Amino acid sequence: MQTLIKPQRFFGRNFTTDELLIIREVVGSCGGISRNELAHTVCELLDWKRPRGGLKARECKDVLERLENKGFLDLPEKRQAGYCGPQKFKEEGVKNEPYSRLSGSVEEFAPLDIERVRNREQRHLIRDLISRYHYLGYAMPFGARIQYLVHVTRPGREVVGCIQFSSPAWRMKARDQWIGWDDERRGEALQQVVNNSRFLVLAKIRNLASSMLSASIDHLRSDWEEQYGVTPLLLETLVHRNQYHGGCYRAANWQELGETTGRGRMDKTCRRNEAEVKTILVYPLVKNARQRLRERR
């Protein structure tokens, strides 16, 4: 087996040679446990945690797989064959059936009630709605996440939308160049970027989409800091260029930076897929977001 001598950097963390040897020893000695369990064990040993104390197990699992690809260690067989990314849920045949029959202008229903998803019932509801009505379906977000259900309260309380924020893409050329990041600085500041990874409008109410964006962003700033101990400075989102223009984002002053390369987050083959190219849009949460993300303190 190949031996890694020099340190490696993954997800903004530098792994020393001693730490890499510890990881290999753990994987080699903990037979019979799953890859997820190995990731949790490694995080605990190396104290790899989020600012609020949660283990970075999802990131660690990806690190283990990258080390396996380098020939440094041998992981146990995957317990579920096939796709190795987040599990996706997609209900077919209902996208043209309206969830809500409300219509009119958003002013008739304002103010919107933004409800943060916290319990099992809310999680099941948002998963069901996104899997049924969002063109991508529902996938468990990679890393950190905060989700909201959006309600109107008149004439009765009713869900009219869902919105999800999660960890940002690790690397996007157009975004990184716009900020002025090198690899080291990106690793230091990436946690202050948040991705709007799902956005679903369930009622044909004029200006509902932009109102949902505005109201949820107001909640996100404090909720993200409370949950993860990190002050978000920049939002990003990816819009499928072959299906959507991103009009509600543009109307809300989000800025287009360019396009993705067509590779997914978990793509390890470096193959471009033209059908998956997406438009990158960003929204600064503070006036000097770009400067604060670029400059070291």
Same domain? 104 vs 182? yes
**Taking 50 as the threshold, does the pLDDT of residue 110 lie above it?**
yes
Contact 73, 2 (CB under 8 A): no
Identify whether 43 is part of a domain: yes
Same domain? 20 vs 135? no
Give the separation between CA 241 and CA 181, rounded to whole angstroms.
25
Same domain? 45 vs 185? no
Identify whether 252 is part of a domain: yes
Contact 84, 133 (CB under 8 A): no
* pTM for the predicted model, two decimal places: 0.72
Give the separation between CA 122 and CA 114, rounded to whole angstroms.
13
Name the band, by pLDDT with cuts 50, 70 and 90, for residue 206: very high
Identify whether 75 is part of a domain: no
Q: Any idea what the CATH number is for the domain that residue 244 is in?
A: 3.40.630.30
Identify whether 289 is part of a domain: yes
pLDDT, tens only, 261-278:
775 544 444 455 555 789
Give the separation between CA 205 and CA 73, rounded to whole angstroms.
54
Average pLDDT, the chain: 84
Chosen domain end from 38, 69, 100: 69
pLDDT of residue 268: 43
Identify whether 1 is part of a domain: no
Same domain? 51 vs 173? no
Identify whether 258 is part of a domain: yes
**Taking 70 as the threshold, does the pLDDT of residue 31 lie above it?**
no
Same domain? 227 vs 280? yes
Give the separation between CA 34 and CA 53, rounded to whole angstroms.
23
The 3-class secondary structure across 139-189, one letter per residue, is ECCCCCEEEEEEEECCCCCEEEEEEEEECCCCCCHHHHHHHCCCHHHHHHH
Same domain? 32 vs 177? no
Same domain? 96 vs 215? yes
Same domain? 248 vs 104? yes
Contact 209, 112 (CB under 8 A): no
pLDDT of residue 79: 62
**Taking 70 as the threshold, does the pLDDT of residue 237 lie above it?**
yes
Sign of the Cα pseudo-torsion (123, 124, 125, 130, in order): positive
Between 233 and 34, the more confident residue is 233
Name the band, by pLDDT with cuts 50, 70 and 90, for residue 214: very high
Strand partners, 205: 104
Identify whether 76 is part of a domain: no
Give the separation between CA 62 and CA 43, rounded to whole angstroms.
12
Exposure string (b/e) for 120-144, b if CB count within 10 Å is 16 or more?
eeeeeebbebbbbbbeebbbebbbb
3-state secondary structure of 282: strand
Same domain? 286 vs 204? yes
Same domain? 182 vs 275? yes
Same domain? 37 vs 111? no
Domain span holding position 46: 8-69
Token digits of residue 219: 């909640």
Contact 55, 49 (CB under 8 A): yes
The pair phi, psi for residue 162, each rounded to 5°, is -135, 145
Least confident of 31-40, 120-129, 220-229, 267-276: 267-276
Domain count for the chain, please give it: 2
Identify whether 16 is part of a domain: yes
Same domain? 125 vs 54? no
